[in-house]
Amino acid sequence: MSANRVVIGVIGGGAQVAQSVYDTAIEVGRLIARNEAFLVCGGLGGVMEAASKGASENNGTVIGILPGDTVDEANPYLTVRIPSGMGVGRNVLVVRAADVLIAFPGSYGTLSEIALALHMGKGVVYMPGTWPLHKIARIESSLFKEAIDPIHAVGLALDMAGSPF
């Protein structure tokens, strides 16, 4: 186990998500853990819960940066719960903590995290159905890559982060 593990952020819808998206996020979390990377997310439900579940059930480390002042709203699969008290402002902390992000379909919070990551020069791997930013703005192709499935997503993320795996 390396002392300098890759930290992969998983972002996406926090409310109700389609079962297929939830299942895909579980698999992404599982693969993150199996590749000995850390997972960071916003710590709530939906995509964040699913990815956390996949990682947690495979002995992974899951860090949740929560929007509120307490850990009451945290999903049950987090290893570390960090109440930020910042509301949606915690999105900056999720992005800052990650080496690279995997984005799932979501709302404006997900869009803000993608934009922040690209602004900071961090790579974003996006799953089908995620905000198609490349259709509305010029984006550096080395920073914004589409994945077709969980294996592809985690592989791209590890490659973008310079992982030795």
Q: List Cβ neighbours of 152 (8 Å cut-off, separation of 6 or more).
A: none
d(CA 62, CA 43): 9
Q: Which residue did the predictor score with more confidence, 2 or 61?
A: 61
* CA atoms 13, 122, 42, 59: torsion sign: positive
pLDDT at 3: 60
Q: Parallel, antiparallel, or unpaired for β 7-11 and 80-83?
A: unpaired
Average per-residue pLDDT in the chain? 93
Enter the CATH code of domain 7-159: 3.40.50.450
Q: What's the pLDDT band for 164 if we cut at 50, 70, 90?
A: low
Q: What is the model's pTM?
A: 0.94
pLDDT score of 1 more than 70: no
62-89 average pLDDT score: 97
pLDDT digits (tens, 9 = 90+) for 36-47: 999 999 999 999
Q: What's the pLDDT band for 163 if we cut at 50, 70, 90?
A: low
pLDDT score of 34 more than 60: yes
Q: What's the pLDDT band for 139 if we cut at 50, 70, 90?
A: confident
pLDDT digits (tens, 9 = 90+) for 114-138: 999 999 999 999 999 888 777 777 7
pLDDT score of 16 more than 90: no
pLDDT score of 88 more than 90: yes
